[in-house]
Amino acid sequence: MSSDLKVTLTNNPKEKPQDDKLGFGQIFTDHMFVMDYETGKGWHDARIEPYGPFSIDPSMMVLHYGQAIFEGMKAYRNIDGKIKVFRPKSFLARMNRSAARVCIPQIDTEFVATALKKLISIDKDWVPSKEGTSLYIRPFIVATDPYLGVRPSHKYRFFIILSPVGAYYPEGLNPVKIWVETKYVRAVPGGLGEAKTPANYAASILAAEEAKEHGYTQVLWLDGVERKYVEEVGTMNIFFKINNKIVTPALNGSILGGMTRDSVMRLAREWGMEVEEVKISIEEVYEAHANGSLQEIFGTGTAAVISPVSSLNWAGKIITVNDGKSGETSLRLYDEITGIQYGKFPDIFEWMEEVE
Ligand code: COI
């Protein structure tokens, strides 16, 4: 693969938004990273160019069969003014695992991490500084072969786009209400569940819309076979604090292995808390609530960070957790993770990589 990176700067820089007007994923910076792949040639033509639309062939394979993957990561403006990316190599390694599952060629993670830092440094003035804001990074790869047969594409395009963001959920750090999904399933063993591929999100939106109609922010997915075991929430992994122990569903092939999930487990263990990855049924969660041992529920994700859960609705049975308030462990994890990300606390796990 080529290690050259061509840079073309925009002649029309856009107006930057105010930090307090940021939602999620609606504003894009001035530049993007692009790289092409062709069988026999490998990844080539890596470039940073002005952000903008690109022309596509209507027969491009991703439009028909959905062969695509993506990632979601973040860069933060630290309190000392430096810009740092949270665990970029781990995210790009996961991207390669997703790629393998849908027959997309592997990327050189070192090269892409370097290109990403270059892109961020070009668009550095777009990195917001207000607490709770960050620069969301969306790398993605799509199959571009103009072909209607079903097989792996012979051509791909890799993009990285950047978006200054605030909170993902309008609730922010206030607790969200979650609908336990009993009608639809997201993934099954052997399927695509652990890959970050658009199909999983397409599978989730009808359920999320119906949950919203009922007044719930997101759905909690149960396993696709028995509809009994807890898997993950729409855009987050899920955690329970039961009897002072942190419990999360074990990765089983149909759950996305979240980076925030991993970071939360490492932090909680560092604090001396017991952390278990287990197969946990929704019934056990309800039992823990009934016997008073369910202390907290929270979701974790790059976009959402830590999102406390105030209540669950499982087939009409509603439970309220921690009197509907954000729990102490959720808040402590939020403070610690964001403290590391904004450079307020020591980066004990060496998660942050500086953009020069
Ligand atoms: C993320 O948390 O980064 C995600 O990718 C979830 C999402 C916004 C689709």
In this structure, how many other beta carbons lie within 10 angstroms of the beta carbon of residue 11?
Answer: 6
What are 174-223's pLDDT values in tens digits? 899 999 999 999 999 999 999 999 999 999 999 999 999 999 999 999 99
Residues 82 and 100 in one domain: yes
302 C-beta closer than 6 A to ligand 1: yes
Clarify whether residues 124 and 33 are in a common domain: yes
Residue 237 and residue 116 share a domain: no
> Which domain-ending residue is among 135, 167, 199?
167
Domain enclosing residue 320, as ranges: 176-341
Residue in the block written with tokens 């073309």? 8
DSSP letters of 244-288? Answer: TEEEEEPP-SSS---HHHHHHHHHHHHTT--EEEE--BHHHHHHH
Atom in ligand 1 nearest the alpha carbon of residue 74 = 3
Residue nearest to atom 7 of ligand 1 (CA): 235
Ligand 1 atom closest to Cα of 72?
3
Measuring CA to CA, how many Å separate 334 from each of 3, 9, 265, 304, 330?
A: 38, 37, 13, 10, 6
Mean pLDDT score of the chain, rounded to an integer? 96
Cβ atoms of residues 271 and 244 within 8 Å: no
pLDDT at 279: 97
The DSSP bridge partners found for residue 320 are: 311
Q: Does residue 299's CB lie within 6 angstroms of at least one atom of ligand 1?
A: no
Beta strands 305-314 and 294-301 are: antiparallel
Residues 125 and 210 in one domain: no
Q: What local confidence, expressed as pLDDT, does residue 303 receive?
A: 86
Tell me, using a 6 A CB cutoff, whether residue 180 lines ligand 1. no
According to DSSP, the β-strands at 275-278 and 245-249 are parallel
CATH number at residue 12: 3.30.470.10
Q: Please say which residue of 167, 197, 217 terminates a domain.
A: 167
Confidence of residue 3 (pLDDT cuts 50, 70, 90): low
Task: Give alpha helix (H) positions in the chain.
Answer: 61-65, 88-101, 109-122, 198-202, 205-213, 259-270, 282-290, 328-341
Q: Is 235 in the pocket of ligand 1 (CB under 6 A)?
A: yes
Q: Do 58 and 190 share a domain, yes or no?
A: no
The residue out of 144, 167, 190 marking a domain boundary is: 167
Predicted TM-score of the model (pTM): 0.95
Q: Please, are residues 253 and 97 in contact by the beta-carbon 8 Å criterion?
A: no
Q: Whose CA is nearest to atom 6 of ligand 1?
A: 235
**Mean pLDDT of all residues in 82-110:** 98
- Structure confidence by residue, pLDDT tens digits, 247-262: 999 999 999 999 999 9
Q: 16 and 160 in one domain?
A: yes
Residue 168 and residue 304 in contact, taking contact as beta carbons nearer than 8 Å: yes
Q: Is the pLDDT at 354 greater than 80, yes or no?
A: yes
The candidate with the shortest Cα–Cα distance to 105, out of 61, 32, 43, 190, is: 43
Burial 197-209 (b: 16+ CB within 10 A, else e): bbbbeebbeebbe
Domain count, the chain: 2
Average pLDDT over residues 20-37: 95
Q: Please give the distance, rounded to the nearest whole angstrom, from the Cα atom of residue 313 to the centre of ligand 1.
A: 23
